Structure 1
Amino acid sequence: MTDIREVQVTFDCADPRALSLFWNATLGYEFPPPPPGFDSWDGFSETLPEEKRNMASASEDPAGAGPRIFFQRVPEGKTVKNRVHLDVRAAPGLAGDERMAALEAECERLVALGATRVERHEPSPPMGGGHIVMQDPEGNEFCLD
């Protein structure tokens, strides 16, 4: 029997806290609890040297079902299309016009949070029910599926 491993998805980024706030709002995730002895992550951050602040952040599924997402500050910017991306399941079980309307509504909500709409792909049965390609505030591609 094979052991199952947990997965953490890691984003290289310029602003870990801001990007984790975007993904928290997108996925319904939350920050994990702050380290022992601190009431908040801001309180913990204030104890760090200036250059160590906002080096990393994390987002977790409050129900514990989804993978943890980790955001780490890197000096270089994004230069090419992601080879791996997240599909945000915004319309599971829906088809046709109802599915695309749900995806459009979610797209509109995420654009208001700082995402960018890239392109819409119409349903093409039997292979695809349609999806919308987007980018998060730092340009990382993801799909509304």
Structure 2
Amino acid sequence: MGLSMRVIEIECADPIQLGRFWSAVLESPIGPGTDGVHIASQGNSEMSLYLVEKRSTGSSVNTARVWLNPMQGSLATEVERLTKLGASVLEKRVTNTSVGLAVVVMADPEGNEFCIESSDREVAEAVARFEDPDDTLDDLGTSGYSPGAGEGFAGFS
């Protein structure tokens, strides 16, 4: 037995317009849905995002958050790319100051919050440092947040 997650549904004012944003974010095409638009996640044919027109008259912003993980590159690069697509940065949470891992809370153009965390590469580099018996880790915690070798965190303070 067990469950698998297949769809994350977001109610929104304009599914097609917001679908364009999420299609660019996920770098996946928009597909039709019964009462909205469907965007399949890259590399996971089982998981998709489904955008439907707002059904209720309650809160205007969805409080559930989609969590994204950069498969390549860096957190800083993805935050910059998503900001250019129309997302806004709400909060930066440093999850491990000693090695610079972080989570950024962002909002899509309709205000729906989502999170993006340090990339798989950044996490692997941090883990490798801790597992390397020759790494004395002397510099940990002395420099604060560091996005990675040679990378800045444009538009982010």
TM-score, with normalisation over the residues of structure 1? 0.64
- Residue 117 of structure 1: which of 82, 89, 96 is its match? 89
| Cα displacement (A) at 1:64 | 4.3
| Structure with the bigger percentage of strand | 2
Q: Alignment identity in percent?
A: 28
Aligned positions, number = 114
CA contact (8 A) 1:30 1:62 kept: no
Name the structure 1 match of 2:15. 16
- CA deviation digits over 1:14-54, x for unaligned, max 9? 0101111111111122223x69xxxxxxxxxxxxxxxxxxx
- The one-letter code sitting in structure 2 at the alignment partner of 1:122 is V
Aligned counterparts of 1:6 and 1:81: Cα–Cα separation in 2 = 19
After the TM superposition, which of the residue ranges 62-71 and 129-138 deviates more from structure 2?
62-71
- Residue 80 of structure 2: which of 101, 108, 133 is its match? 108
SS at match of 1:134: strand
SS at match of 1:67: strand
Gaps of 5+ in 2: 118-157
Name the structure 1 match of 2:40. 60
Aligned counterparts of 1:67 and 1:30: Cα–Cα separation in 2 = 14
| Cα displacement (A) at 1:129 | 2.8
CA contact (8 A) 2:68 2:115 kept: yes
CA contact (8 A) 1:86 1:142 kept: yes
- The one-letter code sitting in structure 2 at the alignment partner of 1:135 is A
